[in-house]
C-alpha cells in the first residue's frame, strides 16, 4: 500500500473495530503490499485493509466461510463480529481471527502437502466463478509486450519473459485441462500460517481455476514430492511459468511488493538458468 495511505488505512481499521465493540488502541503491521494486514490490540483481531477500488473482499469472506464450514485448513473470520465487509474512508476492512504462531519447529514438506491436499479436496466441493490461471499468463504477456506498461524492463529480459510465457502457455495448454479445479492461486509460505492447530491458508482473493500443479508451483519444491498424483513434468513447467508471471509483475511501475525489483531480477536470472539447462 502507498505510504501516504497507510496512516488512513490504520485509522479506518481501528475505527471500525472500535465501533463493533472491539478494543483497538494500537495496531501492528503484519504485512504491507497491495493490501495492509494489521494486528489490532488489545482485542487481538487481524484486520485486512485495501482501497475500495482494489479489493475483492466480499468474495474472500464468503469463500472463507464456506471452506471453514467444510473443515478446510483456512483462517477463520473473527467470531465476535458479523462476518462481513466493512467500509470507511475509501477502504474496505475485514476482520479475522488472530492465530498465535506455533513454536519454532520447521514445517515439513509432508505436512505442507497434506494441508494443501485437504484444501484442494474442500475446494472441489465449492462452485464459484473465478478466473482461469491462464488469465494471469495473458496479463503477463500484455505487460511484457508493452514498453509503456513496463518501461524499465530491459530488452533481453523482455525477450526472455515473452518467450517463456508463450512457450509454456502452449505446452501446458496442449496437455489439456481435464484435471482442473478451484485453486488457492498463491499458496506460497507467506500465505500459510503455522499454528498450534496445524497449517492454515490465508489470502483467498487469489483463487483461480487450473491444475493442482499450478498451486504446488508456489510451494517449496519438496512439497510436490509428498502430494499424491502429481505430474512431475507439468509441475516443473508450472514452476517456471509462475516464475515468469511474478517476475513480470515486479516491473509494473505501481508494483508494491517490498524489494520487488531485486526479486524480479533474481527470478529472471533463475529462468535464464533453467532455460539454458533445458537447452
Residue 132: pLDDT over 60:
yes
Average pLDDT over the chain reads 93
* pLDDT, position 176: 66
- Which residues, in sequence order, are bridge partners of residue 47? 38, 95
Q: 56-63: list long-range contacts, CB under 8 Å, 24+ apart.
A: 56/205, 57/85, 57/92, 57/94, 57/205, 58/85, 59/128, 59/204, 59/205, 59/207, 60/94, 60/203, 60/204, 60/205, 61/85, 61/94, 62/128, 63/126, 63/128, 63/204, 63/207
Q: Which of 68, 57, 7 is nearest to 200 (CA)?
A: 68
**In percent, how much of the chain has pLDDT > 70?**
96
Residue with cell 498463491: 186
Whether 219 and 141 have beta carbons less than 8 Å apart is answered as no
Residue 43: pLDDT over 90:
yes
CA 108-114-120 angle, to 5 degrees, is: 140
How do residues 199-255 score in pLDDT, each as one tens digit? 999 999 999 999 999 999 999 999 999 999 999 999 999 999 999 999 999 999 988
Prediction pTM value: 0.93
- Which residues, in sequence order, are bridge partners of residue 199? 194
What value does the mean pLDDT take over residues 145-162? Answer: 97
What are the start-end ranges of the H helices in 146-217? 155-174, 212-216
* Cell numbers linked to 50: 485495501
Q: What confidence category does residue 55 fall into, taking pLDDT thresholds of 50, 70 and 90?
A: low
Q: Which range is most confident: 14-18, 33-37, 195-199, 275-279?
A: 14-18
Residue 25: pLDDT over 80:
yes
Residue 276: pLDDT over 90:
no
Residue 177: pLDDT over 60:
no
Strands (E), the chain: 24-32, 36-42, 45-51, 86-88, 91-97, 181-183, 192-195, 198-201, 208-210
Q: What confidence category does residue 74 fall into, taking pLDDT thresholds of 50, 70 and 90?
A: very high
Indicate if the alpha-carbon torsion angle 13, 123, 218, 249 is positive or negative: negative
- The rounded distance, in Å, linking the Cα atoms of 50 and 55 is 6
* pLDDT, position 183: 97
Q: Is residue 249 helix, strand or coil?
A: helix
- The rounded distance, in Å, linking the Cα atoms of 227 and 110 is 8
Whether 191 and 184 have beta carbons less than 8 Å apart is answered as yes
Amino acid at each position: 500500500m502507498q505510504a501516504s495511505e497507510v496512516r488512513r488505512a490504520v485509522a479506518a481499521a481501528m475505527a471500525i473495530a472500535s465501533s463493533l465493540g472491539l478494543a483497538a488502541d494500537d495496531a501492528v503491521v503484519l504485512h504491507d503490499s497491495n493490501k495492509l494486514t494489521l494486528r489490532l490490540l488489545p482485542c487481538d483481531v487481524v484486520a485486512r485493509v485495501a482501497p475500495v477500488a482494489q479489493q475483492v473482499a466480499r468474495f474472500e469472506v464468503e469463500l472463507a466461510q464456506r471452506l471453514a464450514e467444510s473443515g478446510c485448513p483456512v483462517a477463520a473470520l473473527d467470531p465476535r463480529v458479523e462476518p462481513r465487509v466493512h467500509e470507511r474512508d475509501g477502504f474496505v476492512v475485514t476482520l479475522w481471527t488472530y492465530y498465535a504462531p506455533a513454536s519454532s519447529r520447521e514445517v515439513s514438506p509432508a505436512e505442507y502437502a497434506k494441508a494443501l491436499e485437504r484444501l484442494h479436496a474442500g475446494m472441489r466441493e465449492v462452485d464459484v466463478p473465478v478466473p482461469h490461471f491462464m488469465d494471469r499468463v495473458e496479463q503477463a504477456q500484455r505487460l511484457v509486450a508493452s514498453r509503456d506498461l513496463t518501461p524499465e524492463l530491459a530488452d533481453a529480459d523482455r525477450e526472455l519473459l515473452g518467450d517463456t510465457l508463450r512457450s509454456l502457455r502452449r505446452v501446458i495448454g496442449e496437455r489439456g485441462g481435464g484435471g482442473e479445479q478451484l485453486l488457492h492461486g498463491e499458496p506460497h509460505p507467506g500465505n500459510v500460517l503455522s499454528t498450534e492447530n496445524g497449517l492454515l491458508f490465508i489470502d483467498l482473493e487469489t483463487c483461480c481455476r487450473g491444475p493442482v500443479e499450478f498451486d504446488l508451483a508456489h510451494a517449496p519444491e519438496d512439497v510436490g514430492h509428498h502430494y499424491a498424483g502429481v505430474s512431475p513434468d507439468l509441475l516443473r513447467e508450472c514452476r517456471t511459468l509462475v516464475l515468469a508471471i511474478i517476475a513480470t509483475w515486479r516491473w509494473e511501475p505501481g508494483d508494491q511488493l517490498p524489494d520487488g525489483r531485486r526479486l524480479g531480477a533474481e527470478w529472471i536470472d533463475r529462468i535464464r538458468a533453467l532455460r539454458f539447462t533445458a537447452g
